[in-house]
């Protein structure tokens, strides 16, 4: 994602798509087809998630390889560290390296169950920070290292403010960009970015909002409840009356999510949008078309409202 830092510096908006390894081989094939089509939307990079505890890790590595070397997509591999053997981390990094992948999102993952009694092994991993140090020691500057950020706090124990010094530690250890837990409230995101900067996280490090486009009302509510992210009251007011009609939910959702995107871009706190696609193309595509940032939407819709940050797209 070196390109990401460059476009960030130039003030050009970019976006990325996150996918997870599907459970069946047919699902994998369908996802490759979808990734190929979504390539046309012009993402700066795509992410492949890492199954907790290394579940489906072989598939994650294989998908990284296909996306990077067959489809030519700039690919970022997620990797967790506290929930599996170090040998699995070594294998994954080696495979990513051999695939030509240069981006890792370094994560802690779920800690072992009996967390209270758990003691970090000598030289072992306790936090994402330890994985970042390990990658730097073994691969120098080969990988751009992304880290997770939490505008609304991480776990029950670390609120949004308490988490910031630990986030800074991850950047000091070698993290080069931050992707946040999903967020739907632009004010919360913007305020939190300012607080990160006030705490000494350099403005040159992109802080990227994680955005989940709305596919159905049920999935939207499920994820929002699970991550405990705040939903602005207006969103409920607009979605509730149409909640049983998926087509209307996507239409309204597109407007709400695009409005969030415009607000964070216009605030100058970020130039990049990260979409949790849930392996589905349609809702993400609708948001991008609403924002008029895909190459195709620029071509086909000359009447789209000009946005301040759109001028630079050329």
Give me the active site residues, please: 18
Determine contact, residues 108/81, Cβ cutoff 8 Å: yes
Using the structure block, give the residue that is written with the tokens 């992410």. 47
Which residues of this protein are in contact with ligand FAD, per CB under 6 A?
Answer: 49-50, 52, 78, 80, 105, 107-109, 127-129, 148, 154-155, 157-158, 163, 166, 170, 179, 181, 210
Report the residue number, 223 or 310, with the smaller CB distance to ligand FAD.
Answer: 223
Whichever of 78 and 285 has its CB closer to ligand FAD, that residue is 78
Among residues 81 and 287, whose Cβ is nearest to ligand FAD? 81
Q: Which tokens in the block code for residue 119?
A: 């003691």
Cβ atoms of 284 and 277 within 8 Å: the answer is: yes
What is the per-residue burial (b if ≥16 Cβ within 10 Å, else e) of 271-310?
bbbbbbbebebebbbbbbbbbbbbeebeeeeeeeeebebb
Instruction: Give min distance, CB of 25 to ligand FAD, in A.
Output: 21
Distance CA 48, CA 52 (A): 13
Residue nearer to ligand FAD on the CB measure, 148 or 292: 148
Count of residues making up the chain:
314
* Cβ nearer to ligand FAD, comparing 135 with 252: 135
DSSP label of 203: T
**In terms of Cα–Cα distance, which of 65, 11, 72 is closest to 42?**
72
**Residue 273 in contact with residue 15, Cβ under 8 Å?**
yes
Nearest distance from C-beta of residue 265 to ligand FAD, angstroms: 19
If you ran DSSP here, which 8-state letter would residue 134 be given? H
Q: How far apart are CA 8 and CA 204, in angstroms?
A: 8
How do beta strands 14-19 and 45-48 pair?
parallel
For the bound state, the minimum distance from the C-beta of residue 111 to ligand FAD, rounded and expressed in Å, comes to 7
Rounded CA gap, 55 and 84, in Å?
10
* Nearest approach, Cβ of residue 195 and ligand FAD (Å): 14
Q: By C-alpha distance, which of 168, 150, 170 is closest to 158?
A: 150
Q: Could you tell me the smallest distance in angstroms from the CB atom of residue 28 to ligand FAD?
A: 17
Closest CB 292 distance from ligand FAD, rounded Å: 26
Q: In this complex, which beta carbon is closest to ligand FAD, that of residue 104 or of residue 249? A: 104
One-character DSSP codes across 136-152: HHHHTTSSEEEEEE-TT
Contact 149, 196 (CB under 8 A): yes
């Amino acid at each position: 994602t070196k390109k990401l830092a460059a476009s960030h510096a130039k003030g050009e908006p970019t976006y990325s798509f996150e996918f997870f390894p599907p459970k069946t081989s047919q699902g994998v094939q369908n996802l490759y087809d979808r990734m190929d089509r979504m390539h046309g939307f012009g993402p700066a990079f795509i992410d492949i998630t890492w199954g907790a505890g290394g579940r489906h890790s072989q598939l994650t590595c294989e998908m990284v390889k296909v996306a990077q070397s067959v489809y030519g997509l700039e690919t970022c591999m997620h990797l967790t560290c506290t929930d599996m053997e170090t040998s699995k981390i070594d294998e994954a990094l080696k495979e990513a390296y051999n695939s030509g992948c240069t981006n890792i999102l370094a994560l802690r993952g779920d800690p072992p169950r009996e967390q209270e009694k758990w003691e970090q092994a000598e030289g072992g991993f306790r936090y994402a920070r330890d994985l970042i140090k390990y990658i730097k020691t073994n691969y120098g500057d080969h990988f751009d290292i992304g880290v997770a950020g939490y505008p609304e706090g991480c776990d029950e124990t670390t609120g949004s403010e308490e988490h910031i010094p630990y986030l800074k530690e991850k950047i000091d250890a070698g993290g080069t960009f931050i992707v946040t837990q999903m967020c739907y409230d632009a004010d919360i995101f913007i305020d939190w970015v300012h607080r990160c900067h006030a705490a000494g996280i350099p403005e040159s490090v992109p802080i990227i909002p994680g955005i989940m486009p709305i596919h159905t009302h049920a999935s939207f509510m499920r994820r929002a409840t699970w991550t405990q992210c705040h939903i602005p009251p207006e969103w409920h007011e607009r979605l509730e009356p149409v909640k049983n009609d998926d087509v209307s939910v996507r239409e309204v959702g597109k407007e709400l999510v695009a409005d969030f995107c415009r607000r964070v871009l216009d605030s100058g706190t970020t130039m990049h949008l990260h979409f949790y696609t849930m392996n589905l193309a349609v809702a993400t595509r609708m948001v991008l078309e609403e924002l008029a940032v895909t190459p195709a939407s620029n071509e086909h819709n000359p009447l789209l409202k000009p946005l301040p940050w759109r001028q630079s797209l050329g």
